[in-house]
Amino acid sequence: MNEWKKVKISDIGKVITGKTPKTSNSEYYGGNIPFLTPSDDMSVKYSRRTNKYITELGRLSVKNATLPPNAICVSCIGSDLGKVVITTQETVTNQQINSIVVDTDKFDIDFVYYSMLELGKILNFHSKTSTAVPIVNKSNFSQYEINCPGLDVQKKIGFVLSSIDKKIEKNEKINNNL
């Protein structure tokens, strides 16, 4: 029997809030390290390109903000609240994004990604009821919970959902070529 349990985001892995290198320092920008912001395309599963790139100096200027490949990034402010994407390479995000470096010994990245998509929809829905600009800070984000089965079931669910996404992506490419 595989029991589902509520798990806090902070228990899924390390939560990192992004930081922006000083925009006044031109030596920080124009490199090859992706700098992900909510204005980038977060409608796809994987972040393959960003509007801005930073240099190694820029990356070093924002200590403890570098994400490894396969980090799950969630936009946590404004109308972009709840957008989710997975990094494909070492990436830095701005402070409007909270990211999870998933503990893969306990959690499946694909399963967590799809769970974050669902949580993102809920956060976005609730944000529509506020007149102020909605924001979810790191401490609040870390306390949200998702329902998780054991790792073996997570992997099966993640595989099935990823397979469906790949088929949808393939069909979209075919349609775009018609």
**Picking from 23-37, 41-55, 120-134, 153-167, which range would have the lowest pLDDT averaged per residue?**
120-134
Given this model, what pLDDT does residue 66 score? Answer: 97
Q: How many domains does the chain have?
A: 1
Tell me the pLDDT band of 53, cut-offs 50, 70 and 90. Answer: very high
For 5, the enclosing helix (H) or strand (E) is: strand 5-8
Summarize pLDDT for 114-144 with one digit per residue, the tens: 999 999 888 877 667 766 777 888 999 999 9
> How far is residue 19's CA from residue 131's CA, in Å, rounded to a whole number?
26
What is the pairing mode between strands 72-75 and 97-102?
Answer: antiparallel
For residue 80, give the CATH number of its domain.
Answer: 3.90.220.20
Helices 109-127 and 151-176, axial angle in degrees (round to 10)? 70
**3-state class (DSSP) for residue 34:** strand
Chain segment 57-108, per-residue pLDDT in tens: 999 999 999 999 999 999 998 888 899 999 999 999 999 999 999 999 999 9
Q: What percent of the chain has pLDDT over 90?
A: 76
Cα 57 to chain centroid distance, Å, stands at 24
Tell me the pLDDT band of 163, cut-offs 50, 70 and 90: very high
Q: What is the pLDDT of residue 121?
A: 86
Q: Please, which residues have CB within 8 angstroms of residue 167's CB and are 6 or more apart in sequence? A: none
Residue 40 per-residue DSSP state: S
Give the bridge partners for 75, in sequence order: 97
CB contact at 8 A, 51 and 40: yes
Nearest to 95 by CA among 81, 76, 79: 76
Q: What is the pTM of this model?
A: 0.91
Domain that residue 155 falls in: 5-176
Model pLDDT, residue 131: 63
